[in-house]
Structure 1
Amino acid sequence: MPEKFWTYVRTRYRSIVELIYEVDDAISGIVFISFGSNLYFICLQLLKSINKMPSAVHAVYFYFSFAFLIGRSLSVLLFVSAVHERAREPLRLLHLVPPSGYQSEVQRLANELSSDNVSLSGLRFFNVTRKLCLTVAGSIVTYELVLIQFHEDEKSWACQAGKQ
């Protein structure tokens, strides 16, 4: 392809990246609050799952709402991380350019693609990528283990009060 084509592609790529940065500035607060509240409610529901359910209806509602919460959180994470995944695809395609067509504009585009961190973020505290899914899952397990250590069943309070 001629150098003019690669210049056009690089300027279009830069315009799309700038648009993603503007969108990130607009919604990063919502992303941060969403991830924080989802993490909190998942930990809270996991902690409540330790207690015995009063009836089968309560159990069905609880597990349905917990599955919905996990599904919602996971779908938001995967949809938002798709921005980062799509931004990495052109770099893989540039590696397929034959050496005879590798010009200075191709090198500039490859440098931009490899150096840019194109993803949505949560107030720039974290970038939403697929790796974040594993990090969030690890955090949930860690928090849950800590909460389980300090958890006392409601019935144990009643038994201790009766002994005194």
Structure 2
Amino acid sequence: MFELIRGDLNRLAPNGNASLRTLLAGLLSQGFQAILVYRFFSWLRRRGVSGQPLRFFCERLIEICCGISIPAACRIGKGLRIHHFGGIIFHPSVELGEGCTLYQGVTIGDRGGQGGAARVGNHVLLGAGAKIIGPIEIGDHCVVGANAVVTRNMPAGTTALGGACRFKYSDGRIE
């Protein structure tokens, strides 16, 4: 758990030159507080300790205060960064790789009770208002643009653009 939190802390100042002010601002941000609550209760869950009713209370408090819902059942790699809080919702079966960045309004969910949720690779950026729907795979180093709705697999290194969700490949092709 502490290694994962250390990775999350390192994302607050990615260039390695974290000033005390940067560190304090990051620690006090709603996104980092939501990550800490998730990390603690996920750690307990992996050890067979439910943490109820404290987990329920803490997760609801984070949802009310920060607008972020990350269930303890999610599997998230180290280095998660939530830049702007609010409206971030994860399905319990979400898997997120290392070094991912989220902006406000991101939803990773299922298709209305059908199937699970997405598996997201390493170093993926999910822009403001991005929606990832269904049991799909998002490859490493992908970018999901603001307000894009992704309902199919994204190969590594691609970019999803806009509501129609066209993919921009690293070679310049757009589908």
Q: One fold, TM greater than 0.5?
A: no
Q: What TM-score do you get using the length of structure 2 for normalisation? A: 0.26
RCO higher in structure (CA 8 A, sep ≥6): 1
Which has more helix, going by share of residues?
1
TM-score by length of 1: 0.27
Larger radius of gyration: 1
